[in-house]
Copies of this chain bind each other. A is one copy, B any other.
């Protein structure tokens, strides 16, 4: 089966904090909304229009923990993943669909530490305490894997 491709590449800003869910087996998942923008000029009115698109990002396990640790609302990230539409039933038993981006790779383009340089450090949120160098992270699953061990 296959010979197909399902790939998404996004650069956008987190619209909220990463929400974590932990499972019994030790796995975990992180979720957050990501905003991308599209701007154009309306030909009729000649005014500038901006549309924001919201993407539901899902990150797993180690990657989820890295997200939770290093980025927060407002940060800019590069997300690579695949589209997955889940089907569920609402309270009336109707089929509903929800489309998510399952993250397979990512790069942090800013972190709160950077944008919080100076006076912008909020009280009560010391997840990234000052002094910790939250340098941008380029997490590439490939990098860690012995690349060679593919089960084929």
In the complex, are the beta carbons of A149 and B53 less than 8 A apart?
A: no
In the complex, are the beta carbons of B61 and A150 less than 8 A apart?
A: yes
In the complex, are the beta carbons of A145 and B85 less than 8 A apart?
A: no
Complex alpha-carbon distance, A11 and B76, angstroms:
13
Summarize A's interface: helix, strand, loop or mixed. strand
In the complex, are the beta carbons of B4 and A138 less than 8 A apart?
A: yes
In chain A, positions 120-142 with a C-beta closer than 8 Å to chain B are 135-142
User: Which among B37, B40, B53, B150 is the interface contact of A85 at CB below 8 angstroms?
Assistant: B53
A2 at the interface (CB under 8 A from B): yes
Given contacts A6-B38, A8-B8, A35-B4, A152 and B148 within 8 Å (CB-CB)? no
Complex alpha-carbon distance, A62 and B151, angstroms:
8
A60 at the interface (CB under 8 A from B): yes
Given contacts A5-B11, A11-B4, A36-B6, A43 and B148 within 8 Å (CB-CB)? yes
Q: Which residues of B contact A49 (CB under 8 A)?
A: 148-149
User: Which among B3, B76, B102, B150 is the interface contact of A143 at CB below 8 angstroms?
Assistant: B150
Listed A/B pairs (5) with beta-carbon separation below 8 Å: A3-B108, A5-B107, A38-B82, A40-B149, A63-B150
A residues neighboring B (CB under 8 Å): 1-13, 23, 27, 29, 35-43, 49-50, 52-55, 58, 60-63, 65-66, 76, 78, 82-86, 90, 92, 94, 96-100, 102, 104, 107-109, 135-152
